[in-house]
Structure 1
């Protein structure tokens, strides 16, 4: 694939530098992408070692911004582990989910056109925790 033919010059949404965007992934440059991957690994490791940590604790202990941690969860890159007392909420019905934006039932009820308009991809459809009464996410919707 010749990037010069298929890519286009865009401004990185994080740092503002110009880069060649190939149309795949987030619109961020390679340097910001590498930083994002490094922060993602730090957050992932911390959460799996500290199952009951709140998003504020994770942010404070890792130095990763809350907004970025939220995006990892909503993008389906990070899954809240079994045994955690903290969960995300489905954007439609509010039920607890372990990752993504919607629970399977709400996603299935949307037409393909609606899912496309809402920018909901399959990896953003989360699964419910095994024990839904175990806890709930109380911090992801706060700004």
Structure 2
């Protein structure tokens, strides 16, 4: 039997296709139902308004959005913070600006690594094999 500790409550549970125990799963489902019920009445609410009205954490609401359980086409004013800079976004985990900066940093690091790995005959420690 495959068992694990629930990351939310710490209880030991029989692992299945969910990553939390059955009790925590029921709690998350109740939170989801609260959000959906509120959004049916107040479709144009913001994330903070939904958080205040339902008591569901901003992190959990953002998780519902990322999982596709809460559709932004049905709730156009919902936006959650970028995980790096905090700018409001509606898809993914980071904003476009942070994504571009991260991509630039990775490309610069790759270029730097390539320069370090190439032999450099000007410094005297490289060599070239001729025909």
| Mapped pair 1:14 → 2:16 | no
Structure 2 vs 1, CA of residues 68 and 79 (structure 1 numbering), >3 Å: closer, same or farther?
same
Aligned to 1:53: 45
Q: What is the DSSP-based 3-state SS (H/G/I as helix, E as strand, rest coil) of the residue aligned with 2:24? A: helix
Aligned to 2:31: 39
- Normalising by structure 2, report the TM-score: 0.58
The structure where helix makes up a greater share of residues is: 2
Q: RMSD between aligned alpha carbons? A: 2.0
Q: What is the DSSP-based 3-state SS (H/G/I as helix, E as strand, rest coil) of the residue aligned with 1:84? A: coil
Aligned to 1:62: 54
Structure 2 unaligned blocks of 5 or more = 80-89, 97-131
Q: Residues 51 and 81 of structure 1 are in contact (CA less than 8 Å); yes or no, is this contact kept in structure 2?
A: no
Q: Distance in 2 between matches of 1:39 and 1:82?
A: 18
Structure 2 vs 1, CA of residues 92 and 29 (structure 1 numbering), >3 Å: closer, same or farther?
closer
User: Following TM superposition, by how much is the alpha carbon of 1:59 offset from its aligned partner in structure 2, in angstroms?
Assistant: 0.6
Higher normalized contact order (CA 8 Å, seq sep 6+, divided by chain length): 1
The alignment covers a number of residue pairs equal to 86
Q: Larger C-alpha radius of gyration, 1 or 2?
A: 2
- Normalising by structure 1, report the TM-score: 0.54
Q: How does 1:1-143 map to 2 (within 5 A)?
A: 4=1, 8-22=2-16, 24-25=17-18, 27-82=19-74, 84-87=76-79, 88-91=90-93, 94=96
Q: What is the DSSP-based 3-state SS (H/G/I as helix, E as strand, rest coil) of the residue aligned with 1:42? A: helix
Q: Distance in 1 between matches of 2:57 and 2:3?
A: 27
